[in-house]
Amino acid sequence: MSSGILKRTEIEGRGRGLVASQPLKAGEIVLRDSPILLYSALPFINQSSSVYCSHCFRTFSSSSSSSSSSSSCSHNHVFCSQNCLSSALASSHSPWLCQALSRLRDSAPLLLEQPVEQQVQARFLVAAYNLALYSPSQFQILLSLEGAPDATDTATAQFLHSLLVSSLFSPPSNPPVPFSLELTAALLAKDKLNAFGLMEPCSSSHNNSGQQRSVRAYGIYPNASFFNHDCLPNACRFDYVDSAPDRNTDIVVRMIHDVPQGREICLSYFPVNENYASRQRRLMEDYGFTCHCDRCEVESNWSDHENDDDDEDLVQEEEEEEELMDEDDHEQDQMGSSKEQGDTDFPHAYFFLRYMCDRENCGGTLAPLPPKDDGTTASNILECNVCGNLKDDQMIDTSGAEDEHSMDD
């Protein structure tokens, strides 16, 4: 990938990543990416009663699943419209995939007894082999992404490969491509490192109960997969599955703050407010690496007690440190700091105060709306990438006090 905005390059110790080809402004859209593969995150037992379209994954309204506007295929997979069904049958929901999903649902009780994670991995494998059937070029893109199978992938592949062979690949349902245990393991590794979750909208019930949002579907996005992780990212991604008028499964990546040309553009792979121990554990378990970003380098030197503190306590401690700083004089310098400049005391509290959503149990990150009409004037309105809340940047007091009023969607 190389464009006027981002360039893919090898980064020492981090593999392939994306860097800014030019100075980037806060709120600037640096990538809009479409998935080459989508698959449901629901267990198979829920397949016939899905509340989402089987192609675009929009949420059905309370009456749409039984209305004349919805459609279903020969195996009762439901779509939000006839147009969506027609598009799906020509690509992502081929007759082979439709039959395969139905066979797994009806004829593989062993799979239904497995954890949801393995049921979802079976969905991914069926979608991946279907991709090889209708778009061999995109299947090769999938195989070119980062990820090599480890012992866990191989063990899971042995179970799922045997199950898929016995359930799907007997006449008349022949495999769409050469099917092997090695290929199954390789595909599972690609999925683990590169899949993005399309999340449920953040509702008031989630906020009040403290429950985490569930994932409705997973997608493989060939360009977005090259963003590396940082625990204080300079960009964040948005999806608008239920609200976008078209291309609703695209993800949009926007800058959180200004960065200079040549700087690596990074996302956080999970909510920014997780503590050091939790972040390191998740990154090792899910992605197989230890993070050495500026924030982690600082927090790794803290005591074990501090590492286990709640993030609320972390913010409070760092707010006290921030009172010693003149925010107005240092804002741009601190936001543009880098390891090369020897800046190892990145103002964490400043980031949390300015770019963390303050809605209870949200955990989202705020990024400005795209620059105004002239393309250079930054917007004062920040949008949360989780709950969609809009906030006027001018109402945020970075000394620790914040205006209580925020803008409704």
Nearest Cα residue to 198 out of 62, 88, 57: 57
Question: How does residue 171 score in pLDDT terms, banded at 50, 70 and 90?
Answer: low
What mean pLDDT do residues 85-93 have? 88
In this predicted structure, the answer to whether residue 90 has a pLDDT above a threshold of 80 is yes
Q: What is the pLDDT of residue 214?
A: 83
Task: Judge contact between 151 and 192, C-beta under 8 A.
Answer: no
In this predicted structure, the answer to whether residue 345 has a pLDDT above a threshold of 70 is no
* Dihedral sign computed on CA atoms, order 88, 90, 91, 96: positive
Per-residue pLDDT of 27-72, as tens digits, reads 999 999 999 999 999 888 755 456 889 899 998 864 444 444 568 8
260: exposed, middle or buried (Cβ count in 10 Å: 0-12, 13-18, 19+): exposed
In this predicted structure, the answer to whether residue 232 has a pLDDT above a threshold of 60 is yes
What is the 3-class SS of 55-102, one letter each residue?
CCCCECCCCHHHCCCCEECCCCCEECCHHHHHHHHCCCCCHHHHHHHH
Task: Name the more confident of 171 and 239.
Answer: 239
Nearest-angstrom CA–CA distance, 24 and 100: 46
Nearest-angstrom CA–CA distance, 171 and 160: 19
In this predicted structure, the answer to whether residue 307 has a pLDDT above a threshold of 60 is no
Task: Judge contact between 3 and 102, C-beta under 8 A.
Answer: no
Cis amide bond preceding 201, omega within 30: no
Cis amide bond preceding 370, omega within 30: no
Phi, psi angle pair for 41, to nearest 5°: -100, 5
Nearest-angstrom CA–CA distance, 24 and 31: 12
Computed on alpha carbons and rounded to an integer, the radius of gyration of the chain in Å comes to 23
Q: What is the pLDDT of residue 190?
A: 96
82-120: b or e for each residue (b if 16 or more CB lie within 10 Å)?
A: eebbeebbeebbbebbbbbbbbbbeebeebeebeeebbb
Per-residue pLDDT of 238-293, as tens digits, reads 999 998 989 999 999 999 999 999 999 999 999 998 999 999 999 999 898 999 99
Angle at 9 between CA 370 and CA 237, to 5 degrees: 30
Nearest-angstrom CA–CA distance, 307 and 281: 12
* Dihedral sign computed on CA atoms, order 62, 67, 69, 72: positive
Task: Judge contact between 402 and 353, C-beta under 8 A.
Answer: yes
- Type of residue numbered 69: S
- Type of residue numbered 401: A
Q: What is the pLDDT of residue 103?
A: 82
Pair of tokens at residue 201: 């909208």
Kind and range of the H or E run holding 251? strand 251-255
Q: What is the pLDDT of residue 306?
A: 53
Per-residue pLDDT of 352-384, as tens digits, reads 889 999 888 888 999 999 987 666 677 899 999
Pair of tokens at residue 350: 């400043």
Q: What is the pLDDT of residue 61?
A: 66
Nearest-angstrom CA–CA distance, 367 and 385: 8
In percent, the amount of the chain with pLDDT more than 70 equals 74
Cα distance from N-terminal residue to C-terminal residue, the chain:
34
Kind and range of the H or E run holding 192? helix 181-194
For 197, other C-beta atoms within 10 Å of its C-beta total: 14
Nearest Cα residue to 267 out of 237, 287, 295, 222: 237
Nearest Cα residue to 47 out of 86, 89, 76, 87: 76
Tell me which residue has tokens 């595909």.
187
Read off the pTM.
0.81
**Angle 136-144/116-134 helices, nearest 10 degrees?**
130
Pair of tokens at residue 315: 């913010």
Q: What is the pLDDT of residue 269?
A: 94
